[in-house]
Structure 1
C-alpha cells in the first residue's frame, strides 16, 4: 500500500503520519505478544487448578488494577510528559513478563504466583493505557481520529488472530514460560519507537497541576459532563454482561470442548479474524447509520452469539460464532472509545479516558467474579445464558443515552475570556478565589434567564468551580449576581484555557438576557488571608 492509494477519509489515512505509523507497527508486535501471554496465562491456570472460580479470578486480577489505578494514571498522564510515562510503563511490563517467564520455565509458578504477577502486569497496563490513547489525537488530525481508533482495533484483532494460534504452537512445542518470555521481548519494539519520538510539548505560563488536584479536576469534570456520563453508562451496560464470555471462554474451550492449547488458540483466532473484518465494515456502516444504532445492533448481536455459545458444543460452529463475536465486539468498543475521546477537550482527555477505563475494568472485574461464581454453582451454560439475556435487555434500557450527541459539539478552546483589570497579581497557589458577574435582566425574562444559567452552571463546575450560585437582589429585582468559588488563582487562570466553543454558545445564550449598555461586570476576589508577622496577602 502506498500513500497515493490512501484517501483523506479512508481507514488507512492516519498511516501517513510517520510517528503514528511507527507506533502502530510497534504496537502490533507488542499486542501479538500480549495475546500470546493472555492465552498462555489462562491455559496455565487451567493446568494448575480446575476451579472455575480461580480461572475467572484471572480476569478479575487483570481488571482490578484498572479499577484502582486508571484515574490516577490519567491524572499523571495529563500532568507529566506522556512520552516518558509510556517508556516507564513499557519497561515495567517487560520486567514483570520476564519474571513470570523465568519462574514458569523453572517450574516455580503456582496459581497464586500467577495471579499476583498477572495483577502486577496489569498494573503496568493500567498506567499505560490512558496515556497511550490520549496521545492518538496528538498524532493525527481530528477528522482522522475515528480511523486511527479503528486502526488500533485492527491491531488488536489482527494480534488476536495471530497471537493465540502462535501461543498454542509455542506451548505445544516448548512451554508456557517461553510464551511469557516472548511477550517480554515484544515490549522492546514499542520502547525503541518511543525513545526516538521527538514529542512537541505545549508550554503554559501556569504551573503544572498537582497530582491530587488533577485527580479532583478529573472527577469534577466527569461529575458535571453529561456527554461523558452517557459514554460511561453505555460502557457499563455492555461490559458488565459481555464480561461473562471473556471470563468463561477458557473453561468452555478446555472443559466443555476438550480442546488443547492449539485448539483454544484457533478459536480465539477466529474471534480476531472477525474483529479484523469488522474494522473494514465499521466505516461503511457508519456512513449509513448512527453510532447509537451501530452500538445497539452490535450489542444485540453479541448477546445472540452468547446464547448460541451457551448451548452449542460443535467446534466448527463455535469458530463461526467467534467470528461474529469479533465483528460485534469491535464495533461496540471502537464506537465507545471514539465517543470518549471526542466528548472531552484536550486538557482532560487522559483523565476522561482513564475514567472510562475505570468503568470498563470495574465492570469487567465485577462481571467476571459474578459470572464465575454463577458458573461454579449452576454451570457455564446457565451463566452465559443469563448474561446474554441481561445484555439484550440493557440495549433497550439505555436507548435514552445517545452517543450521537457527542459528535455535535466543538470542544476546541475558544479563549474568549478577557482578564479584568487587577491591582496586583496573586501567587498561583493563593486562594480560594471568588468570581462574580453582575447581570441586568428584564423581569419578564427572569425565569428563562435562570434556566439558561443552570446549563451554564454545569460548565462552571466542570471547569473548576467548587461552588456556584445565582442570586437575585431583593432591593433591585432586575439585578442578578452569578458567583463561583475556585480553589486557587492558578485554577481560575486555567478556566480561561478550558472554556470551549460549545461552552461559548451556552454562555452567549445566557448573556443574551442581559439588558445593560455594558457587558456584565466581572469581579475577581482573593481570600483575605492575614498571617501574623507577614500581614495581609501581598502581590506575588
Structure 2
C-alpha cells in the first residue's frame, strides 16, 4: 500500500507490493495461510499466548472479587489493563514504524514475562492487595501497549497480500479458541490452587513467543524516513483522520465497545453474585463467549458476502445487544450461558470485520501507527465503558446496568450505518484470487 501515495491525501484505493513472505501454494481455503511455516509458527505461539492471556483474565478478575468485591474495583481490573493503551498506544505505533519490529517484540515479551512472573510469585505468597493487583495489571497493560500494534503490523509480512484477510481471520480464530478453552481451564485450576497458577501459565506463554521471535529472520527493517518522532506521529494521525474508511472504522469501534464493555466489566459479578458460582462457573461463562465467537467464525464470510461489511457490523451489534439484554433479564444459569454464546457471536463478527477494514486500508509504512489508533479507540472505549457500567451497577444494579447498555447498543448500531467502512473491504476483495 505504499507506492507514491501522499500520506496527506488519502486515496480511494491503495496498493503495495506483496509482503516478503515465503512462497506458498495458494487456494481459497480459509486455512491457506497456515501452510506458510513462518505464519504457522507465529499462529501457534499466538494461540498459546492467548490461552495464557485468558487464563490471566480469569485469575485477575476472580482474585479481585476476593480482595474487594465492589463493582467499581472489579471493573477497575479491566480499566487498569486498558489505560496504558489509551495513553501510549499511538506513540508505541510510531515507534514500531521507526525501529526493528522483531527487536521491539522481543523487548515487550521480556517485560510481560517478568511482570506476570512477579504477580504469580506475590499471589502465591499471599502478599497481593487490591491496589497492588491494579498496579501490576497496569504494567502488563503497558507491555501490551508496545506489543499489540507491533504484532498486528507484522502480520502482512508473514503472508502474501491475497491471504491477508484470511490471516487476520485466523488470528481471530486463535484468540477465540483460547477464549473457549482458557477460561474453563483457568476456572478449574483457580478453584483448586488459587489465581497464581493462571498468572504462572501466562508467564510461560510469553517465553514461548520469545522462542518463535528468536527464530524469525526478517528481510526488512523500519526506517525513520528522515522524520522526527513528533513529525512521524503527526503524519500518522493526519493520515488516519483524512482517510474516510479508517476514520469511520474508529468511530464504529467506539460505538460498539463503549456499551458492549458492560459484559466484560460486570461478568465476574454476574457469576458470583447473581448465579452464585465460583471461579469455575465464571470460567464457564467466558468459555461460552469464546465458543460463540468460534461458531461465528464459521459463518462470518457468508454473512459478509450477503450483507456487506457495514450491515454485518450493525447486525452483529444487534445480536450482541440481544444477548446482553437476555443475560440481564435472567438468573437461570442455562439462559445466562446461552446469552454468553450469543454475545460471543456478536463480539467476534463486529470486531473481526472492523479489524480487517483497518488492516486492508492502511499502507505498510503507516500500519503500526494506524493500528495503534485502532487500539486506542478500542481501549479508550473499553476503559471508559468499564468505569461507566461499574458506576451504574453500583448506583442501580448489575441487571439494570446491563439492560441500559443493551438498549444503548441498539441505538449505536443504527447510528453506525451513517459511517461506512465498505471501501476497505472492496479493495481487499479485488486483491484476492
CA–CA distance in structure 1, aligned partners of residues 228 and 273 of structure 2: 50
Match of 1:110 among 129, 132, 146: 129
The structure whose residues are more often helix, as a share, is 2
**Counterpart of 1:494?**
none
**Counterpart of 1:141?**
160
Query: Are residues 70 and 359 of structure 1, via their aligned partners in 2, closer, same or farther at CA, if it must alter by over 3 Å?
Result: same
1:409 Cα deviation (Å)?
4.6
1:292 Cα deviation (Å)?
1.1
Counting only pairs closer than 5 Å after superposition, residues 491-530 of structure 1 correspond to structure 2 as: none
The structure whose residues are more often strand, as a share, is 1
CA–CA distance in structure 1, aligned partners of residues 414 and 190 of structure 2: 43
**Counterpart of 1:362?**
380
Counting only pairs closer than 5 Å after superposition, residues 458-469 of structure 1 correspond to structure 2 as: none
Is the Cα contact below 8 Å between 1:79 and 1:208 reproduced in 2?
A: no
Match of 2:302 among 284, 292, 296: 284
Counting only pairs closer than 5 Å after superposition, residues 74-223 of structure 1 correspond to structure 2 as: 74-201=93-220, 207-223=225-241
**Counterpart of 1:442?**
none
Match of 1:376 among 381, 394, 415: 394
**RMSD after superposition:** 1.6
Query: Are residues 202 and 40 of structure 1, via their aligned partners in 2, closer, same or farther at CA, if it must alter by over 3 Å?
Result: closer
**Counterpart of 1:338?**
356
Is the Cα contact below 8 Å between 2:309 and 2:422 reproduced in 1?
A: yes
Is the Cα contact below 8 Å between 1:79 and 1:209 reproduced in 2?
A: no
CA–CA distance in structure 2, aligned partners of residues 292 and 109 of structure 1: 45
**Counterpart of 2:16?**
none
**Counterpart of 2:313?**
295
State the secondary structure of the residue aligned to 1:289. helix
CA–CA distance in structure 2, aligned partners of residues 11 and 275 of structure 1: 16
CA–CA distance in structure 1, aligned partners of residues 160 and 50 of structure 2: 24
**Counterpart of 1:249?**
267
1:372 Cα deviation (Å)?
0.6
Note if 1:267 corresponds to 2:285: yes
State the secondary structure of the residue aligned to 2:142. helix
Is the Cα contact below 8 Å between 1:241 and 1:367 reproduced in 2?
A: yes
Is the Cα contact below 8 Å between 2:245 and 2:422 reproduced in 1?
A: no
Which runs of 5 or more residues in structure 1 are unaligned?
Answer: 1-5, 411-540
Is the Cα contact below 8 Å between 2:285 and 2:340 reproduced in 1?
A: yes
Is the Cα contact below 8 Å between 1:165 and 1:265 reproduced in 2?
A: yes
**Counterpart of 2:422?**
404
State the secondary structure of the residue aligned to 2:119. helix
1:47 Cα deviation (Å)?
0.5
1:7 Cα deviation (Å)?
6.3
1:211 Cα deviation (Å)?
2.1
CA–CA distance in structure 1, aligned partners of residues 152 and 299 of structure 2: 22
* CA displacement 1:491-512 (0-9 Å, x = unmatched): xxxxxxxxxxxxxxxxxxxxxx
Is the Cα contact below 8 Å between 2:177 and 2:291 reproduced in 1?
A: yes
Query: Are residues 95 and 84 of structure 1, via their aligned partners in 2, closer, same or farther at CA, if it must alter by over 3 Å?
Result: same
Counting only pairs closer than 5 Å after superposition, residues 21-40 of structure 1 correspond to structure 2 as: 21-40=40-59
Match of 2:251 among 233, 257, 267: 233
1:219 Cα deviation (Å)?
1.6
1:284 Cα deviation (Å)?
2.2
**Counterpart of 1:417?**
none
CA–CA distance in structure 2, aligned partners of residues 239 and 323 of structure 1: 17
CA–CA distance in structure 1, aligned partners of residues 413 and 190 of structure 2: 39
CA–CA distance in structure 2, aligned partners of residues 175 and 202 of structure 1: 43
CA–CA distance in structure 1, aligned partners of residues 160 and 306 of structure 2: 23
CA–CA distance in structure 1, aligned partners of residues 388 and 246 of structure 2: 27
CA–CA distance in structure 2, aligned partners of residues 409 and 170 of structure 1: 46
1:78 Cα deviation (Å)?
0.6
* CA displacement 1:46-71 (0-9 Å, x = unmatched): 01112111111111111111101110
Is the Cα contact below 8 Å between 1:300 and 1:391 reproduced in 2?
A: yes
Is the Cα contact below 8 Å between 1:11 and 1:283 reproduced in 2?
A: no
Counting only pairs closer than 5 Å after superposition, residues 471-510 of structure 1 correspond to structure 2 as: none
* CA displacement 1:113-172 (0-9 Å, x = unmatched): 000000100111111000111111111122211111111111111111111111112112
Query: Are residues 169 and 208 of structure 1, via their aligned partners in 2, closer, same or farther at CA, if it must alter by over 3 Å?
Result: farther
CA–CA distance in structure 1, aligned partners of residues 26 and 102 of structure 2: 29
CA–CA distance in structure 2, aligned partners of residues 172 and 46 of structure 1: 13
CA–CA distance in structure 2, aligned partners of residues 357 and 249 of structure 1: 22
1:208 Cα deviation (Å)?
4.9
CA–CA distance in structure 2, aligned partners of residues 289 and 248 of structure 1: 32
1:187 Cα deviation (Å)?
0.7
CA–CA distance in structure 2, aligned partners of residues 162 and 209 of structure 1: 45
Give me the TM-score of the superposition, normalised by structure 1: 0.73
Query: Are residues 207 and 235 of structure 1, via their aligned partners in 2, closer, same or farther at CA, if it must alter by over 3 Å?
Result: closer
Match of 2:78 among 59, 62, 67: 59
Counting only pairs closer than 5 Å after superposition, residues 427-442 of structure 1 correspond to structure 2 as: none
